[in-house]
């Protein structure tokens, strides 16, 4: 049988023995089969490198997508904590002339009594008129709670005027201070932790520079709320509402004028 001829791309015949021979990594020659560019050990190495390049490229894409998806989750808790903690203002307390409790549930009153017994205030002042939810007057009820816990009646004062907002409670405190038989130069304000940023802004604005205002939030363990607020429905609502109210207060009491201010006043109920 004659020698098998092959044809190159130009159509010229040549013997298989005449095909080009390429050295491999050992120095030995091998033929180009015409079916692949590389063969032998060199071809194996090239294929491995190409495979690794593709694998590494897709690995980089995968890692990048994972970072985009999971980095926010990694920092989610810290970010959520920052959002809640911004609303919390807590001062290093020193004795004040009076401890003022913003009207609310009894745990606020209980904490104010604790501070009084620890010597942080000369007396207690309560605000808040009739409460339709509890069916009592806030001030009178707080007085009863205080007396039951051993606070002397001479150390208790309250205002029964109807209040509709934190701002109006600050105004009632200012009125009481102006009529107090003894000078009042410093106040400790007690309320919920997430309420304190807005309360601080309000009381400092209403009382002015002549009265030192210290903020004493009720410890979380004595409230129905959680510092990790995003895990609890009630705490989530509180944080959401406080940001809305804080923004409203700044616009309502600092920047609004004329008809716009009158309209905002009609909304002032918190």
Query: Is 0.85 surpassed by the pTM of this model?
Result: no
262 or 142, which is more confident: 142
Residue 18 has pLDDT above 80, yes or no: no
Residue 257 to residue 263: CA distance in whole angstroms: 10
Residue 85 has pLDDT above 50, yes or no: yes
pLDDT tens digits for 156-177? 999 988 888 999 999 999 999 9
Residue 33 has pLDDT above 70, yes or no: no
pLDDT at 258: 77
Judging by DSSP bridges, how do beta strands 156-158 and 29-31 pair with one another?
unpaired
Residue 237 to residue 230: CA distance in whole angstroms: 9
The dihedral sign for the CA sequence 80, 84, 89, 93 = negative
Query: Are 235 and 226 a contacting pair, CB within 8 Å?
Result: yes
Q: Stretch 126-149: mean pLDDT, rounded? A: 90
SS3 state of residue 7: strand
215 or 75, which is more confident: 215
pLDDT tens digits for 106-135? 999 999 999 999 999 999 999 988 888 888
pLDDT at 57: 63
Residue 105 has pLDDT above 60, yes or no: yes
Q: Stretch 221-244: mean pLDDT, rounded? A: 97
């Amino acid at each position: 049988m004659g020698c098998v001829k092959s044809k190159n791309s130009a159509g010229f015949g040549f013997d298989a023995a005449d095909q080009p021979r390429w050295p491999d990594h050992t120095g030995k020659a091998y033929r180009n089969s015409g079916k692949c560019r590389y063969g032998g050990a060199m071809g194996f190495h090239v294929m491995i490198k190409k495979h690794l390049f593709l694998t590494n490229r897709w690995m980089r894409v995968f890692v990048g997508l994972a970072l985009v998806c999971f980095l926010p989750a990694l920092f989610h808790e810290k970010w959520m904590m920052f959002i809640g903690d911004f609303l919390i203002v807590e001062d290093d307390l020193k004795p004040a002339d009076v401890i003022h409790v913003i009207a609310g549930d009894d745990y606020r009153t209980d904490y104010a009594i604790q501070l009084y017994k620890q010597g942080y205030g000369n007396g207690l002042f309560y605000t808040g008129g009739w409460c339709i939810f509890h069916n009592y007057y806030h001030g009178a009820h707080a007085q009863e709670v205080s007396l039951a816990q051993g606070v002397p009646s001479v150390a208790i004062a309250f205002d029964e005027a109807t209040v509709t907002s934190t701002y109006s409670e600050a105004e009632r405190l200012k009125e009481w201070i102006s009529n107090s038989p003894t000078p009042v130069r410093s106040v400790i304000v007690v309320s919920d932790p997430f309420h304190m940023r807005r309360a601080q802004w309000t009381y400092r604005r209403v009382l002015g520079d002549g009265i030192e205002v210290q903020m004493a939030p009720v410890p979380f363990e004595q409230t129905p709320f959680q510092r990790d607020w995003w895990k609890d429905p009630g705490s989530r609502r509180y944080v959401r509402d406080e940001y809305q109210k804080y923004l409203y207060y700044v616009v309502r009491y600092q920047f609004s004028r004329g008809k716009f201010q009158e309209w905002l006043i009609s909304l002032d109920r918190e």
